[in-house]
Chain A
Amino acid sequence: MTELLRVADLSVTYGSGAPSVNRISFTVGEGSVVALLGANGAGKSSIMKAVSGLTPSSGAVLFNGQDIGALPARARVAKGIVYVPEGREIVGELTVRENLILGGYQKAAAERKRRIDMVLDLFPEIAEKVDRQAWRLSGGEQQMLAIGRGLVADPKLLLLDEPSLGLAPLLVRRVFDRLATIREESELAIVLVEQNLAVTMRLCDELHFLRGGRIVGHRRAEDLKDEAARQQAIDAYLGAAA
């Protein structure tokens, strides 16, 4: 599998405190799904923001072999690194369609329209409400819009930050069904940040366990197929925090 993203010795420090992310390294292959698991404060979102250029970091971030550490967020979006943040971060006053246009802001008009149509096909729930202001959508629909907005940008690497957060189990399943569809139908690579191991297992190829800003363990998804192995991994790497 060709390597798409290489993160090496990445550290993120806010203010003068201890680093939130401390010299972590991992790789993501083309078309693969890598999960970062950990409790609150483990540094998962900081890694995502650092990779997408939204927070300063040290260490190396290589995308398609090119060092992108000095590039601003918009240049990384242009290269195909798209972040879907925790808490959705949709623009509530804009309509669903306008949010999707925002997602494809860097695309030419025809390409943007094609990709918006594709996203609306993928998420019929929001297609019905395309001219409605985004804040009027339900939580699940807002999450679909956030993912859809990311997909309009035509990403090569999608950074998905806790897509299950705050959603009812049924909606989580629906969102992950769509992500599975996207995975089957495209060569899109995904870095998935989650606290919920059960839903993560549906999608990912490999998992990194984080604690205190460090990667404390790594497993292939196929090694965690049975419940006992999963529980063992949680106990070993995340401990009581999980």
Chain B
Amino acid sequence: MSFWDSLLYDLFPLIWSGMITGCLYALGALGLVMIFKCSKVVNFSHGNVAGLTAFLVYGLSSGMLMSLSWGAAVLVALLGAIAIAFLIYSIISPLVFESDLTSTIATLGFGLIAQGVTLLIFGADIVALDLPIPRFAVSVLGLLVTGYDLTVLAVAVVTIGALFMVIDHTKLGIAFRAISENPFAAEVCGLNLRSVHYFAWITASILGVVGALLIVPTTFLSVTTVATFMLQAFAAAVIGGFASLPGALVGGILVGVLMNLFTFYVSPEYSSTFLLAVILVALNIFPNGILQRVGGSRV
């Protein structure tokens, strides 16, 4: 196979599918970063809570719990995710204002509880969550584009676009950015810090559910599927600087592409090791994230 053939038939498809998966990592990473930016908590329950809600969609649409339509099941699961996020933040909010570390450790506990509840209700079996995603494939300049790819891309663009719109152009977004940078200044201006934290936690949970539901069709759903997916999202957040929303987006896509290339060209066995190496290299070269810029302040 010539170089150009290899480029056309291997590299471009790998980059394309890596970008699609990367969009999902970005959704997960954005949730982690939103919570960290404003409440300074690394939410280790993110993956397990998203996994629980993915199982909820399965249970509500498969007849295991109920036989709702797919849309109704997703709606109920989203409401469930919002309620869980609300509950978790309500319980740890006294800790959030006392110690970042304690509240981060508390999220580990909530993650384990979410995993336990999933096992209790749905068991340890691997199930298939078949979402009504258009099933077609077209060839675009030699690149095979599937209905799944376009669905993920459309949902990711709309979701991330809406998120950035809110953060950049609304009063709530100004409050979020203010609290993220200078909570004291925000409090001086009469903002309710807890309300903005709730916004971040609830938005993050919605992003997590969207990411989880879209990653599941590429694999089966087990109690660890979404938590493992969130590990890649965590890596994306770290590469993006953990406090930058655009960084999380770029980090997600980068992780998706690099993982795909490594898996294909080197070895799927060592992909997790490779991911760790990418994180270490990125942290060494860009300790504040790949989108770090030269900022400053005047006095």
Contacts and interface: CB of A to CB of B under 8 A. Distances in A.
Contacts of A153: 189-190
Interface stretch (A13-21, A72-80, A115-123, A205-213): A72-80
Contacts of A98: 174, 177-178
B299 A166 contact: yes
Q: Which of B171, B185, B192, B298 has the most CB of A within 10 A?
A: B185
Contacts of B188: 52, 54, 73, 83-85, 89
Interface residues of B, number: 21
A105 interface: yes
B181 A91 contact: yes
Interface in B156-204: 171, 174-175, 177-178, 181-182, 184-192
A78 B184 contact: no
Given A98-B174, A137-B298, A89 B190 contact: no
Nearest to A109: B171
B299 A105 contact: no
Contacts of A91: 177-178, 181-182, 185-186
Contacts of A52: 188
A56 interface: no
Interface in A27-86: 52, 54, 73-74, 76-78, 83-85
A74 B192 contact: yes
A105 B171 contact: yes
Contact of B178 (A77, A94, A136): A94
Nearest to A136: B298
A156 interface: no
Given A73-B188, A74-B187, A105 B181 contact: no
A102 B175 CA distance: 7
Given A89-B185, A94-B177, A135 B296 contact: yes
Contact of B190 (A78, A101, A166): A78
A102 B187 CA distance: 10
A239 interface: no
Given A78-B190, A149-B189, A92 B181 contact: yes
Contacts of B177: 91, 93-94, 98
B296 A101 contact: no
A93 B185 CA distance: 12
Interface in B246-299: 295-299
B174 A142 contact: no
Interface in B16-48: none
Contacts of A77: 189-190
Given A74-B191, A83-B188, A93-B181, A139 B171 contact: no
Contacts of A105: 171, 175, 189-191
Given A94-B178, A102-B185, A74 B299 contact: no
B174 A101 contact: yes
A163 interface: no
B184 A102 contact: no
Contacts of B187: 54, 73-74
A153 B185 CA distance: 13
A25 interface: no
B298 A89 contact: no
A232 interface: no
16 contacts: A74-B187, A74-B192, A77-B189, A77-B190, A85-B188, A90-B182, A90-B185, A91-B177, A91-B181, A93-B181, A94-B177, A101-B174, A102-B185, A102-B189, A102-B191, A135-B295
Interface of B: 171, 174-175, 177-178, 181-182, 184-192, 295-299
Interface of A: 52, 54, 73-74, 76-78, 83-85, 89-94, 98, 101-103, 105-106, 135-139, 142, 149, 153, 166
